[in-house]
Structure 1
Amino acid sequence: MQAVGIVLAVLFVAALVLMHRRDRHALRTERGKLFDACHALFDCQRITQESVAWPVLAGTYGGFDVHIAPLVDDIVFRKVPSLWLLVTVKRALPIAGAVDMLARAQNTEFYSPADGLPVRVATPHEWPRQMTIKADRPAADLPLAALDPHVRTFFADPRAKEMLVTRQGVRIVYQAQAAERSEYLVLRRAVFRDARLPAALVGSLLDQAVQVCAAVMKGDVHGHA
């Protein structure tokens, strides 16, 4: 009788292991489809995916080196998690330092460099009120005039979260999707069903980042190091 119990226990554990592997494989496959609609946007691309993590894309878009990384934000316990998209256009820019524009700051934006920037810059009157601007130098040394139309356009979208401009290029953060509310409230799991990035969205975000680069390159007296 004891031997039968041992056999049943082993079979039960084996079944659990198989189910776990099956679920992880299904999760990896599902998340791996994130960029499926976007391949034609890029001159070349490389997608990497570690285990069941979300895939990350590095490639060339319109002659620019770009990097697109999804990031799950589930830090705030009572807030439905977000799947943020970190879209970076790498380009050496003639800007003296770094400036970060963050919408609706909650002091939980672990992906943002804002806390490490020492200068709080007053928000220009025409820009969204719920914006925090941090930099590593005074406003007079920043290309705010060149950024103005792009900031207003980008942050007019309520899903726009952040724009970071540095010597190395431009990064924008955008909410790709919110987690399933019912599943999070009941099970506290961040589930993003059928997460696929539309090519039109990704192209628009890349274009906006490229346009910011172009504006800083053209610049004004405050856009140069």
Structure 2
Amino acid sequence: MQSTGIVLAVVFLAVLAVMHQRDRRALRAERRKLFDACFALFERHRLTQDAVAWPVLAGTYDGHEVHIAPLVDDVGFRKVPSLWLRVTVKRALPMSGTVDMLARAQNTEFYSPADGLPVRVATPHAWPGQMTIKADRPAAQLPLAVLDPHVKRFFADPRAKEMLVTQHGVRMVYQAHGAGRSEYLVLRRAVFRDARLPATLVRSLLDQAVQVCADVMKGDVHGQA
């Protein structure tokens, strides 16, 4: 009788293990579809994925090296999690400083370097409200005038979260998806069903970042907005 119970327990654990592996394979495959509609945008691309994590895309767009990484933000209390898209265009820019523009800061933006930048820059009056600007040097040494039209355009979208400009290129953070509210409230789990990135969205973010790079390259990097 005891041996029968042991056998049943072993079988039960084996079934659980099989179900767990099946669910992980399904989750990995589902998340890997995130960029399916976007591959044609790139001259070349490489998709990497660790275990069941969201995939990361690296490639070449319009002659620029780019990196696109999804980030799950579920650290906000009583806040439905977001799937942020971190879009980076790598290009050497003629500026020695770093400036970060962050919308609606909650002090939970683990993906942002803002906390590590020592200088708080006053937000130009014509820029969108609820914006925190941090830098590693005074405003007079930053390309605020060059960035002016790009900041106004990007942050006019309520899903826009962050623009970071450094000597190594431009990074933009944008809310790609919100988690299912009911599932999160009941299960406390971030579920992003059928998460896919439209090619039009990815192209728009990349084009904006590329244009920021181009204008910084040719503009007055010390101008004020």
* TM-score calculated relative to the size of structure 2: 0.98
- Partner of 1:210, secondary structure, is helix
Q: Give the distance between the partners of 1:45 and 1:130, measured in 2 at CA.
A: 36
How far residue 62 of structure 1 moved from its aligned partner, in angstroms, is 0.3
CA deviations over 1:145-196 (Å, ceiling 9, x no partner): 0000000000000000000000000000000000000000000000000000
Runs of 4+ in 1 over 3 A off after TM superposition: none
Identity %: 81
How far residue 4 of structure 1 moved from its aligned partner, in angstroms, is 1.1
How far residue 77 of structure 1 moved from its aligned partner, in angstroms, is 2.5
- The aligned amino acid for 1:91 is R
- Alignment correspondent of 2:138: 138
- Alignment correspondent of 2:22: 22
- Alignment correspondent of 1:49: 49
- Alignment correspondent of 1:32: 32
Confirm or deny that 1:77 pairs with 2:66: no
How far residue 67 of structure 1 moved from its aligned partner, in angstroms, is 0.1
CA deviations over 1:34-62 (Å, ceiling 9, x no partner): 00000100000000000000000000000
CA deviations over 1:98-128 (Å, ceiling 9, x no partner): 0000000011101000000000000000101
- Partner of 2:37, secondary structure, is coil
Confirm or deny that 1:166 pairs with 2:166: yes
What is the total number of aligned residue pairs between the two structures? 223
Q: Give the distance between the partners of 1:80 and 1:123, measured in 2 at CA.
A: 28
- Partner of 1:124, secondary structure, is coil
Confirm or deny that 1:4 pairs with 2:4: yes
- Alignment correspondent of 1:181: 181
- Alignment correspondent of 1:219: 219
- The aligned amino acid for 1:59 is G
- Partner of 2:129, secondary structure, is coil
Say if 2:34 and 2:197, in contact at 8 Å, map to a contact too: yes
- Alignment correspondent of 1:87: 87
- Return 5+ residue gaps in structure 1 as ranges: none
How far residue 221 of structure 1 moved from its aligned partner, in angstroms, is 5.0
Say if 2:142 and 2:221, in contact at 8 Å, map to a contact too: no
Q: Give the distance between the partners of 1:216 and 1:96, measured in 2 at CA.
A: 12
How far residue 96 of structure 1 moved from its aligned partner, in angstroms, is 2.0
RMSD (Å) for aligned C-alpha atoms: 0.7
Say if 2:96 and 2:167, in contact at 8 Å, map to a contact too: yes
Aligned ranges 1:110-149 → 2 under 5 Å: 110-149=110-149
- The aligned amino acid for 1:14 is A
- Partner of 1:34, secondary structure, is helix
* TM-score calculated relative to the size of structure 1: 0.98
Q: Give the distance between the partners of 2:59 and 2:132, measured in 1 at CA.
A: 31
- Partner of 2:205, secondary structure, is helix
- Return 5+ residue gaps in structure 2 as ranges: none
CA deviations over 1:59-115 (Å, ceiling 9, x no partner): 000000000000000011310000000000000000121000000001110100000
